[in-house]
Amino acid sequence: MQGVLIRNGRVFDAVSGGSRIAPIAFDGRIRGIGDEALAWAAGNACREIDATGHTVMPGLIDAHCHISFDEPHSNDELFFHRREGLAAIAACHNVRKLLRAGVTSCLDADTIFSVSLDVRDAIEGGLVEGPRMVCGGNALFTSVGGTAGMLVPDEGAIGYLKVTRTLAEIITEVRLQAKRGVDWIKVHVTGLIPRQRGEGEIQVWSMDELRAVVDTAHALGLPVVGHCRNAQSTRDAARAGFDMILHATYMDEEALEAVIERKVPLVPTLTFQAVLADHGDRIGASPFLQELFRREIVESSVQLRRAYDAGVPLLCGTETGFSITPYGEWHWRELQVFVDDLGLTPEQALVCATREGARAMGLEGEIGTLEAGRLADIIVVKGDVTRDVTLLGREGGISHVFKGGVAVDLETPLPERKPLPSWRVSTYSTVPATRANVARSPAGGAQ
């Protein structure tokens, strides 16, 4: 592999907390920064890149993606309009968009069928170009349900989930997922039910059930991650020994104390809410939903910041894979939430998106920082990202991406995406064709 020497760039190493203008040299691994880089490059044939006016930093690590979903507009579409083989082919197309957006690693905590596991293995086997991936299997649900409401069956599997009704079924499913080769076990600790009165979602797992998941998974060497969107679920997941928590919104003092005591890494994943709150009026979302998600960010940010200040690791995740969060579009947005809403500095947010993200990958000490000996997952961004994290999201803002020292082609357009038969849910109309609605339309003659 030919070496690379990047000169004159502002190097953000995600270790010191600062940045400096310095050369960096690498092949498959980083060989040095500063004088060490120049010394190594002098003895090796290197391609040289002038990064004047650019930031050189670790590749982004997105700790909450859904590679197998292919941007559904609804759970109905995701559950009933997907085929396993075609979903895998679509995913192989979509993962290339992550790389081009500077995402060199991602956690895909749950999958439809076993698609994400297959894509992960195809990437590792050199069949597909994509980021480093670690994956869960079907998310574990109880029969109460989850965020898909009445679409969740009373038993069995559908979409990205598997319903487990008893302790025996929980233990069996964890063991089966271990056999299939998952990297994580995901549990939907909260969900939605009809006529719900509580804030956020409702907890649908007991403490005994949560501990059964953790004990079984840990005995098999697997970490456990939980979807928790209320205070009680975050508290109980932390106490049960979960290794990471997604969302952790609406935390009260008891939940915050449990998270701080155990230093459980949190992945707030507020990008979905932020995008919908910012742009919902342009994509047909209801004003009610926009305001609901805007409030969730505001009401959760104070406790998340308190957790961060107490030493709890915060990771950046985006919920990429839905129509609200398309592949390759919003992987930078969580950093802006951390800066604007949690009050982190740009440098602190960048650490959350890089060094801390290595925790999700199980690759601490290998990725997430620019240090000699680390894997050369490196991106080059136009401008000073340590002052403005939104530069990561500007069109053409990322000039170079390297994964393991191999340059990603950012110039050649991806193949044109055309409609897939029966892949998207069709609707008869956006509003009922009542006489009143028809009369208000231009065709009905209303003035």
Residue 133 has pLDDT above 80, yes or no: yes
Q: State pLDDT tens for residues 30-46.
A: 999 999 999 999 999 99
The string of DSSP letters for 176-207 reads HHHHHT-SBEEEE-EE--TT--SSS-EE-S-H
Asked if 209 and 117 sit in the same domain, the reply is yes
The CATH number assigned to the domain holding 87 equals 3.20.20.140
Asked if 69 and 37 sit in the same domain, the reply is no
What is d(CA 144, CA 142) in angstroms, rounded to the nearest whole number? 5
Residue 445 has pLDDT above 60, yes or no: no
Is the model more confident about 183 or about 145?
A: 183
Asked if 16 and 76 sit in the same domain, the reply is no
Residue 198 has pLDDT above 90, yes or no: no
Residue 303 has pLDDT above 90, yes or no: yes
The percent of residues in the chain predicted with pLDDT above 90, rounded, is 86
Contacts of 215 (CB under 8 A, 6+ apart): none
Tell me the β-bridge partners of 227: 188, 246
What 3-state DSSP class applies to 37? helix
Q: Cβ(131)–Cβ(176) under 8 Å?
A: no
Domain assignment present for 347: no
Asked if 185 and 53 sit in the same domain, the reply is no
Per-residue pLDDT at 194: 81
Beta-carbon-side half-sphere exposure of residue 190 (alpha carbons within 13 Å): 24
What is d(CA 311, CA 313) in angstroms, rounded to the nearest whole number? 6
Domain assignment present for 424: no
Asked if 103 and 15 sit in the same domain, the reply is no
Residue 226's domain comprises 60-331
Q: Which amino acid is at 38?
A: L
pLDDT grade for 437, boundaries at 50, 70 and 90 = confident
Domain assignment present for 316: yes
Last residue of a domain, one of 313, 331, 349: 331
Asked if 126 and 47 sit in the same domain, the reply is no
Q: State pLDDT tens for residues 251-260.
A: 999 999 999 9
Structural domain count of the chain: 2
Domain assignment present for 14: yes
Per-residue pLDDT at 286: 81
Contacts of 411 (CB under 8 A, 6+ apart): none
Asked if 221 and 278 sit in the same domain, the reply is yes
Asked if 23 and 99 sit in the same domain, the reply is no
On average, the pLDDT of the chain sits at 94
Instruction: State the residue for tokens 């920082």.
Output: 369
The percent of residues in the chain predicted with pLDDT above 70, rounded, is 97
What is d(CA 50, CA 201) in angstroms, rounded to the nearest whole number? 50
Q: State pLDDT tens for residues 41-82.
A: 999 999 999 999 999 999 999 999 999 999 999 999 999 999
Q: State pLDDT tens for residues 263-299.
A: 999 999 999 999 999 998 888 888 888 888 899 999 9
Cα–chain center distance at 319: 5
Per-residue pLDDT at 197: 72
Asked if 212 and 283 sit in the same domain, the reply is yes
pLDDT grade for 447, boundaries at 50, 70 and 90 = very low
Q: What is the mean pLDDT of residues 103-125?
A: 98
For the whole model, what pTM was predicted? 0.95
The CATH number assigned to the domain holding 41 equals 2.30.40.10
Domain assignment present for 442: no
Per-residue pLDDT at 199: 64
Asked if 100 and 225 sit in the same domain, the reply is yes
Asked if 384 and 399 sit in the same domain, the reply is yes
Beta strands in 213-352 (DSSP E): 224-228, 244-247, 266-267
Domain assignment present for 216: yes
Angle, CA 105 vertex, CA 99 and CA 110 arms, to 5°: 110
What is d(CA 256, CA 234) in angstroms, rounded to the nearest whole number? 8
Instruction: State the residue for tokens 């006016």.
Output: 53
Q: State pLDDT tens for residues 319-368.
A: 999 999 999 999 999 999 999 999 999 999 999 999 999 999 999 999 99
Domain assignment present for 361: no
Per-residue pLDDT at 111: 98
Per-residue pLDDT at 446: 46
What is d(CA 105, CA 175) in angstroms, rounded to the nearest whole number? 26
Asked if 118 and 258 sit in the same domain, the reply is yes
Instruction: State the residue for tokens 């003895």.
Output: 43
What is d(CA 31, CA 8) in angstroms, rounded to the nearest whole number? 17
Of 178-187, 303-312, 429-438, the one with minimum mean pLDDT is 429-438
Per-residue pLDDT at 149: 81
Tell me the β-bridge partners of 3: 46
Domain assignment present for 174: yes
Q: What is the mean pLDDT of residues 206-220?
A: 98
